[in-house]
């Protein structure tokens, strides 16, 4: 993995992009601290969530709990209507 400073990356960006496209990983550092990495797109794994990917991840809420929440919201709504302006 090649490390270059930010100034070099700005002045040599085209060449660095070509090297990254060829498979080389390039670390860009600012004041010696890595801040970015240039890599070829085929090296980046993108996880595209599928429909239903959260199924089973949420805690089950019983119907009566939904009803309690619905009643609470209905009461808040009615109270706001009856408030004096």
Domains and CATH numbers, the chain: 2-41 (3.40.1620.10)
Average pLDDT over residues 3-25: 95
Q: Rounded distance, CA 68 to CA 58, Å?
A: 19
Average pLDDT over residues 20-26: 93
Q: Rounded distance, CA 31 to CA 77, Å?
A: 56
Q: Compare 29 and 43 and report the one with higher pLDDT.
A: 29
Across 8-74, the runs of DSSP E, i.e. the strands, are 26-30, 33-38
Average pLDDT over residues 47-51: 79
pLDDT band at 48 (very low <50, low <70, confident <90, very high): confident
Average pLDDT over residues 19-34: 94
H or E segment to which residue 47 belongs: none
User: Both tokens of residue 31?
Assistant: 């004041």
Q: Rounded distance, CA 41 to CA 45, Å?
A: 8
């Amino acid at each position: 993995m090649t490390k270059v400073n930010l100034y070099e990356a700005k002045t040599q960006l085209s060449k660095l992009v070509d090297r990254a496209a060829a498979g080389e990983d390039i670390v860009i550092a600012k004041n010696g601290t890595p801040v970015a990495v240039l890599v070829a797109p085929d090296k980046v794994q993108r996880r595209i969530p599928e429909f239903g990917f959260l199924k089973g991840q949420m805690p089950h809420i019983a119907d009566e709990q939904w009803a309690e929440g619905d009643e609470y919201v209905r009461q808040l709504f009615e109270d706001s209507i009856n408030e004096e302006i």
